[in-house]
Amino acid sequence: MKKLIALILSFVLVLGLAACGTGTDAAPANSAPANSETTSPSENDKSDTPTVGNIVEAPGSGPADASNITSVEGVPLITLNNGVQMPQFGLGTQIQSLENGDLGVLNQTSRESVAAALRTGYRHLDDAHGYLQERGVGQGIIDSGVPREEIWITDKL
C-alpha cells in the first residue's frame, strides 16, 4: 500500500512539474507581452544597463543589485539564471527537537549557531517557519555583525 501511494504521489509530482514547464511557446514570467514593442539593446550598445531576456532594466534595479554576496573563506558561489550569485554551502538551521518543548532554549541554540556560523564565513542560511526558531536565527544574524545584504537566506513557508 505504501509503494502504491508513493507511486501515485510521484506521478502527481511529475504531472505538476510538466504543467509548470517552459515549453517553446511559453513566455517567461518576467517577459513582456507578445504584442508590446520592446527592443533589446544592440551589440554596439556599450552601456552597463542590465537586461533580463529582452527587457532592459534601469541601473541599480536588477536582481544582482539586491545582493552583495561574496565568497568568504573560499566558499564557492553558484550563479543563478538571473545572474544573482548564491553561496554553494550553507547552514541548515533546523534543530531536531524542541529541547523539552522550550522555545526559548530552541531560539537561544539557533541564535548561537547562526552567529558562530556567520562569524566563521558561512553566508547561506536555510530556515523555515516550521522550525519555530525564526527569532533565534534573526538575533544570530544581528549578533554576528555581518550585514544582512551579505547573507543569503533560503526560507520555506
The residue annotated as part of the active site, out of 110, 131, 140, 141, is: 131
Q: Which residues contact 115 (CB under 8 A, 6 or more apart)?
A: 140, 141, 143, 144
Q: What share of the chain is helix, strand, coil (3-state, %, to 5)?
A: 35, 10, 50
The reply to whether 131 belongs to the active site is yes
DSSP code for 86:
E
| Nearest partner of 116 among 97, 101, 137, 96, judged by Cα | 137
Residues 53, 31 contacting (CB under 8 angstroms): yes
Alpha helix locations (H) across the chain?
Answer: 2-20, 103-119, 134-144
Pairing type for strands 124-126 and 152-154 reads parallel
Beta sheet of 124-126, edge-to-edge order? 91-92, 124-126, 152-154
Q: Which residues are known to be catalytic?
A: 131
